[in-house]
Amino acid sequence: MNLVRAELERLAARRFVQLMVVLLAVAFAVTVVTTLGGSHRPSAVELSRAQSQAAQEVQRLELAHDRCVQIKAGTVTPDENDYVPRDCAQIDPARSEQLPTASDYLSGVFVFAKEAEPLLYFLIAFLALFGFLVGASYIGADLNSGGVVNLLLWRPRRPTVFAAKLGTLLGGVLGLSALASVAYLGAFWLIGQASGLTGRMGGEFWASLGAVWVRGLVLVLLAAALGFAMATLGRHTSAALGTVAAYVVVWELGARLVFQILQVARPDRFMLSSYLGAWLAGEVRFWDDSACGAGISGFCDGSYTLGWPSGLVVLVALTGALVAAAFAVFRRRDLI
Amino acid sequence: MSAVIEIAGLRKTFHTLRQGRRVAVDGFDMLVEAGQVHGFLGPNGSGKTTTLRALLGLVRADSGRMRVLGADSPERLPEVAGRVGAIVESPQFFGNFTAHRTLRLLAVAGGVPTGRVDEVLEQVGLRERGEERVKGYSLGMKQRLAVASALLKNPELLILDEPANGLDPAGIREMRDLTRSLAASGVTVLLSSHILAEIQLICDHVTIVSRGRRVAYGRVDEVLAGFDQHQWQVRVAEPERAAQLLGRAGLSVTGQAEHLVVTGVENPETISRTLGEQGLWVRELIPLRPDLESVFLELTGGHGPVAVPRQVDGAPAHDGVIDLDVSDGREVDA
């Protein structure tokens, strides 16, 4: 426990960590100020007009659905402006997940329910970057400067020191991320209350936002562990940064290009970014060029999806393997 | 006396892509007993630091047995780590932390009362500078901080690798006094240093290592005595005649510009009587005792040609042979 306490204090006292926290605060402040400056509380007239526009749009959707059903039944002849899908349920407003609301027709008004998710994605991206960089520099600088040697002279149990450092890192990053995201969303909810609209925030909204938040926090922890493991293996912070840069250039860009030239089916399956997106968004849909080739007539759905479970499995397996390798190397390495 | 450090047959080989296989420590033995101030001498690259790192669990030995305060190292080192203070080479500290904070964090991590921080800062002479950031410290101040970190645990065994690095003459003297006072209070000290005069002043025992092997060990005076050739510097009015008389008496004499050197005489009375009986009166009779530096240089092959720079101690020794070849240009970093 003493070791964790000391490590937590060392982590918090690191210049790089402090700099990243300041950057987060600056980004936070800039976003809040610009949002506040660009939003106003809608007047009764604006609100009424927007509600009316939303109602009209819903009505138009209902009419389009009714007409689709009638066309399918053969009671109405379709004209060139009609959109008739294979199943009219696809355009049934009653089944639609997102019906037009008044907030869609308000200009210059911040609506929390509409903006919360993109804002949260931005925060998660920042925190994931923060976690990776802090994780890498925390152990990388210590290995390089002799800090680990100092610590091992005091606590000559390498597994304990490794676990304490990783645990402290993950705990610290999780605590900061949780606090930052609550403060961040709380501030924008207040802006919605005071200078905009909070929007429709039912149970479904909170469940969806909560799922993104939890998945985001897991991603931040995985990024921190990944940075820590890579820097441990490479004995330097730059080893982690270099590995990621090399991966992006060689595999995500280079190999993707080669796959395209060789017309490999579903190349996105081989890219880490696909699983990252699948985990964060819950599901991602890709188009398979080879699915609807020659010999197929009529409608062909060449898309395929990757869901969050496969994203989680790939990300956890990769991170777990690298952390295990880092642990094994750290246990046996000569510290000279 | 009980053994505080026991090393037997320690061997460590490093493998690197560029340099290949290099034996850093080759069957090294060492014994440090409780209460000793034990000097650990060897040229650069002779395996001193590798030995200390292996002893402290920082480097994995290929073979050999090590015990610290009765516990096998590195397996049972955690059991005694709280009683061992150590600095290995020049420890690095976070430049943005103050000395006080650096030591406090170590104390917290090691479960030592934080009140001890001020005591050790006082002991190493950093009390007034304890709240300054380490990055502003001179090399000597950083070295003092390193020693302070080793003292924090109030250790029974203190291992200091080159503690005088970067210290000015006053600092070296303070470090000497500190080491003596610790030894007087019962702390066993293992001191690795290049400053041979310091070792001779402070240490009662010594181990000399060359090319990864122990080449001499024991009490400092006994090690020196082993190299004593019983030489005497003699100054007389007629040196040529004196040399003839001493030679006829069966003594080995070499002539210098202003004096004679007589070798192999245990009792100087033989010299003065031989000359006095022939009417030659001795003006000066000085014993020429070996010092640690001359012994060290002889043992480690340091007596090289003046014009040829001596190379660091890189190659493993052959059995029982002190290799005096000084032209080996390989460079090592252990």
Taking CB atoms and an 8 Å cutoff, what residues of chain B touch A146? 91-92
| Cβ of residue A1 closer than 8 Å to a chain B Cβ | no
- Provide the pLDDT for residue A72: 83
Instruction: Tell me: do A87 and A131 sit in the same domain.
Output: no
Instruction: Tell me: do A183 and A236 sit in the same domain.
Output: yes
Compute the residue count for chain B. 334
**Tally: H helices and E strands in chain B:** 11, 14
Please choose, from the candidates B220, B221, B196, the residue with its C-alpha nearest in 3D space to the C-alpha of residue B41: B196
| Cβ of residue B97 closer than 8 Å to a chain A Cβ | yes
Taking CB atoms and an 8 Å cutoff, what residues of chain B touch A235? none
- Whether residues A149 and B59 touch (CB distance < 8 A) is answered with no
Contact criterion met (CB below 8 Å) for B10 and B25: yes
Instruction: Tell me: do A55 and A167 sit in the same domain.
Output: no
Per-residue pLDDT of chain B (334 residues; tens, 9 = 90+): 689 999 999 999 998 888 788 899 999 999 999 999 999 998 888 899 999 999 999 999 999 999 999 999 999 999 999 999 998 876 778 888 899 999 998 898 888 898 999 999 998 889 999 999 998 888 888 888 988 999 999 999 999 988 887 788 888 888 888 888 889 989 999 999 877 888 888 999 999 998 899 988 999 988 888 888 888 999 988 888 889 889 988 889 988 767 899 988 888 899 999 999 888 899 999 988 888 788 888 877 765 444 445 555 654 444 433 332 333 333 333 3
The residue behind tokens 């820097």 is A231
DSSP string, B19-76: TEEEEEEEEEEEEEETT-EEEEE--TTSSHHHHHHHHTTSS--SEEEEEETTEETTTT
Distance in angstroms (rounded) separating the CA atoms of residues A141 and A19: 16
- Provide the pLDDT for residue B152: 93
Contact criterion met (CB below 8 Å) for B34 and B40: no
**Strand B188-192, strand B37-41: pairing:** parallel
Instruction: Tell me: do A12 and A155 sit in the same domain.
Output: yes
Token readout for A94 is 């009653």
Instruction: Tell me: do A52 and A34 sit in the same domain.
Output: no
Rounded to a whole number of angstroms, the distance from the CA of A220 to the nearest CA of chain B is: 26
- The CATH code of domain B231-288 reads 3.30.70
| Cβ of residue B60 closer than 8 Å to a chain A Cβ | yes
Can you list the residues of chain A whose pLDDT is less than 50?
Answer: none
Q: Closest-CA residue in chain B for A138?
A: B94
Ramachandran area for residue A263 (φ above 0: left; ψ -120 to 50: alpha; else beta): left
Token readout for A60 is 């138009």
A295 occurs within a structural domain: no
List, as ranges, residues 16-45 from A with C-beta within 8 Å of B: none
- Whether residues A334 and B92 touch (CB distance < 8 A) is answered with no
A144 occurs within a structural domain: yes
Among A53, A87, A105, give the residue marking a domain's end. Answer: A105
Measured from the Cβ of residue B56, the count of other Cβ atoms closer than 10 Å reads 24
10 Å CB burial of residue B91 (0-12, 13-18, 19+) is buried
Measured from the Cβ of residue A87, the count of other Cβ atoms closer than 10 Å reads 9
| Cβ of residue B188 closer than 8 Å to a chain A Cβ | no
- Whether residues B57 and A152 touch (CB distance < 8 A) is answered with yes
- Whether residues B109 and A145 touch (CB distance < 8 A) is answered with no
- Contacts for A23-31: CB closer than 8 Å, 24+ residues apart: A24/A126, A24/A127, A24/A130, A24/A180, A27/A126, A28/A180, A28/A183, A28/A184, A28/A187, A31/A119, A31/A122
Indicate the number of domains in chain A.
2
Instruction: Tell me: do A83 and A183 sit in the same domain.
Output: no
Write down the ipTM of this complex.
Answer: 0.76
Distance in angstroms (rounded) separating the CA atoms of residues A38 and A27: 16
Taking CB atoms and an 8 Å cutoff, what residues of chain A touch B149? 150
| Cβ of residue B108 closer than 8 Å to a chain A Cβ | yes
Please choose, from the candidates B21, B47, B38, the residue with its C-alpha nearest in 3D space to the C-alpha of residue B213: B47
User: In chain B, what is the greatest distance between 2 CA atoms, to the nearest angstrom?
Assistant: 77
Q: How many CB pairs under 8 A join A and B?
A: 78
A223 occurs within a structural domain: yes
Distance in angstroms (rounded) separating the CA atoms of residues B179 and A296: 89
Prediction pTM value? 0.81
For testing contact with chain B, the best of A150, A332, A335 (most B CBs within 10 A): A150
The residue behind tokens 């303070």 is B174
Of B77, B108, B153, which is closest to A156 when you measure between CB atoms?
A: B77
List Cβ neighbours of B28 (8 Å cut-off, separation of 6 or more).
B7, B9, B10, B11, B47, B51, B64, B209, B212, B213, B214
Distance in angstroms (rounded) separating the CA atoms of residues A260 and A258: 5
Instruction: Tell me: do A185 and A236 sit in the same domain.
Output: yes
Instruction: Tell me: do A306 and A265 sit in the same domain.
Output: yes
The residue behind tokens 């940064």 is A241
Taking CB atoms and an 8 Å cutoff, what residues of chain A touch B94? 10, 13-14, 145, 147
- Whether residues B96 and A13 touch (CB distance < 8 A) is answered with yes
A293 occurs within a structural domain: no
Instruction: Tell me: do A227 and A315 sit in the same domain.
Output: yes
Instruction: Tell me: do A189 and A97 sit in the same domain.
Output: no
pLDDT tens profile B204-261:
999 999 889 998 899 998 888 888 888 899 998 888 888 988 998 888 998 876 789 9
Instruction: Tell me: do A11 and A124 sit in the same domain.
Output: yes
The whole domain housing A234 covers 2-42+108-288+301-332
Among A90, A105, A120, give the residue marking a domain's end. Answer: A105
- Provide the pLDDT for residue B321: 33
CATH superfamily of B3-225: P-loop containing nucleotide triphosphate hydrolases (3.40.50.300)
Q: Closest-CA residue in chain A for B60?
A: A334
| Cβ of residue A190 closer than 8 Å to a chain B Cβ | no
**Strands of the sheet with B37-41, listed across from one edge:** B84-87, B157-161, B188-192, B37-41, B205-210, B213-219
- Whether residues B50 and A9 touch (CB distance < 8 A) is answered with no
The SS3 of residue B112 is coil
- Provide the pLDDT for residue B170: 84
3-state SS string for chain A = CHHHHHHHHHHHHCHHHHHHHHHHHHHHHHHHHHHHHCCCCCCHHHHHHHHHHHHHHHHHHHHHHHHHHHHHHCCCCCCCCCCCCCCHHHHCHHHCCCCCCHHHHCCCCEEHHHHHHHHHHHHHHHHHHHHHHHHHHHHHHHHHHCHHHHHHHHCCCHHHHHHHHHHHHHHHHHHHHHHHHHHHHHHHHHHHHHHEECCCCCHHHHHHHHHHHHHHHHHHHHHHHHHHHHHHHHCCHHHHHHHHHHHHHHHHHHHHHHHHHCCCCCHHHHCHHHHHHHHHHCEEEEECCCCCCCCCCCCCCCEEEEEHHHHHHHHHHHHHHHHHHHHHHHHHCCCC
Among A72, A89, A105, give the residue marking a domain's end. Answer: A105
Instruction: Tell me: do A8 and A125 sit in the same domain.
Output: yes
Distance in angstroms (rounded) separating the CA atoms of residues A276 and A319: 12
Domain limits, chain B = 3-225, 231-288
Contact criterion met (CB below 8 Å) for B6 and B31: yes
List, as ranges, residues 117-176 from A with C-beta within 8 Å of B: 145-147, 149-157
